[in-house]
Amino acid sequence: MLHVDIELNIGDFSLNVEFQCGRELISLFGYSGSGKSLTLEAIAGLRKPDRGQIAIDGRTVFDSTEGINVPAHERGIGYLIQDGALFPHLTAAKNIAYGLQGLNRRAREARVHELLDLLELSGFGGRYPRTLSGGQKQRVALARALAPKPQTLLLDEPFAALDSTTSETLRRELYKIQDELQLTIIFVTHDLSEAISLSEKIAVYDDGAILQLGTNADIYRRPNSRRAALLTGTANVIDGVVESRLEDGLIVRTNDLAVRTDPYPFATGDAVVLCIRPESILLLRKDRPASTASRENNVTGRVISETARGSLYRLEFRVDNPKDRLNPTVLEIELPSHVYGVMRVAEDREWTVSLRRDALHVIPAQ
């Protein structure tokens, strides 16, 4: 179990965060400069917080009140940064063995051999970093961090400089390592898709604070604030007012829309924000009847622009008959490329979309 409750001030920047996690992999997600790496440095003992407490597996390693500040090398933590920081004059095996100075030669060699096997580096122990690929270097760096058998592993954007295929392979291996070794792993990333594919929980960072900490589904589908929604890619964030409460939900009116949502604890007249992810908006086919669920919250409009993004298309959809013609409601919609082609969106710009109630999320206006 890792417990963190700290405040750390550097110049005009203030980091003030509190969280805890067990034997799991948790991602710290947010833009550069939001305090993610600073959090790792404080946990590792490389930065001294101004206030608070850090405990690792029940052992207090920092407490500002009690005057406790355990040195970094005594905290039992593995730490890996983006470039791996391998020693260029040492072989892969000697890089891994660097943190095993307290063991005899036979024990060191056995541990190095174990880690080379674990990270699929058998046969690479005698090679120098300059002869290794980017992915192999990061495997060696990860093996070096794991060598002393830490129970807590800190990873600061370790795959950011790698190609997508290599990154995906290493993410799978990291997940396997966490499962096999039952470590507490804190993984820093600015890539939401990476955080979601890898970790069980995500902490959304912004300006030195944690806006939201929750499961992947909570972060992705149920942001707790406008800022959290925008940071996590909820492109459609629309101001509205609760027009009425029903037995099974709400009627929320925005400038150009009136939609039915699932139940939320808001009263009639409350100012709220509607959130819907771009991939959750359904473009209704014209050659077949819509399903019962797809007939909810139907909105007509026009596709006014599109952007191809590999296997996806991102559309801008302007709602018909806006009240404010200078500032009409424009929804972002994401479609798989094959759907875009089958429905011939490039040839037909007038559509009806469904804002299904189970895809709508309602949060308080701020």
Q: Count Cβ neighbours within 10 Å for each residue of 263-295 and write b for 16 or more, e otherwise.
A: ebebeeebebbbbbbbbbbbbbeeeeeeeeebe
CB-based contact 37:188 (threshold 8 Å): yes
How confident is the model over 226-248, as a mean pLDDT? 95
- Tell me the torsion sign for CA atoms 213, 214, 218, 219: positive
pLDDT at 172: 85
Asked whether the predicted pLDDT for residue 176 surpasses 90, the reply is no
pTM: 0.90
- Tell me the torsion sign for CA atoms 171, 75, 181, 128: positive
Residue 232, number of CB atoms within 10 A of its CB: 22
Reported as a single tens digit per residue, the pLDDT across 59-100 is 999 999 999 999 998 999 999 987 768 999 999 999 999 878
Q: Chain centroid to CA 201: how far? A: 8
Reported as a single tens digit per residue, the pLDDT across 19-44 is 999 999 999 999 999 999 999 999 99
DSSP letters spanning 176-222: HHHHHHT-EEEEEES-HHHHHHH-SEEEEEETTEEEEEEEHHHHHH-
Where does the pLDDT of residue 238 fall: very low under 50, low under 70, confident under 90, or very high at 90 and above? very high
- Average pLDDT value for the chain: 92
How confident is the model over 256-261, as a mean pLDDT? 96
DSSP letters spanning 240-283: EEEEEEETTEEEEEESS-EEEE---S--TT-EEEEEE-GGGSEE
How confident is the model over 149-171, as a mean pLDDT? 87
How confident is the model over 311-327, as a mean pLDDT? 91
User: What is the number of residues in the chain?
Assistant: 366
Tokens linked to 256: 């150009």
Tokens 């807590």 correspond to what residue? 152
pLDDT at 90: 93
pLDDT at 18: 98
Vertex 115: Cα angle to 83 and 105 (nearest 5):
105
Tokens 């804002």 correspond to what residue? 355
Reported as a single tens digit per residue, the pLDDT across 88-147 is 999 999 999 987 877 888 998 999 999 999 888 998 999 999 999 988 998 899 999 999
- The better pLDDT of the pair 63, 158 is held by 63
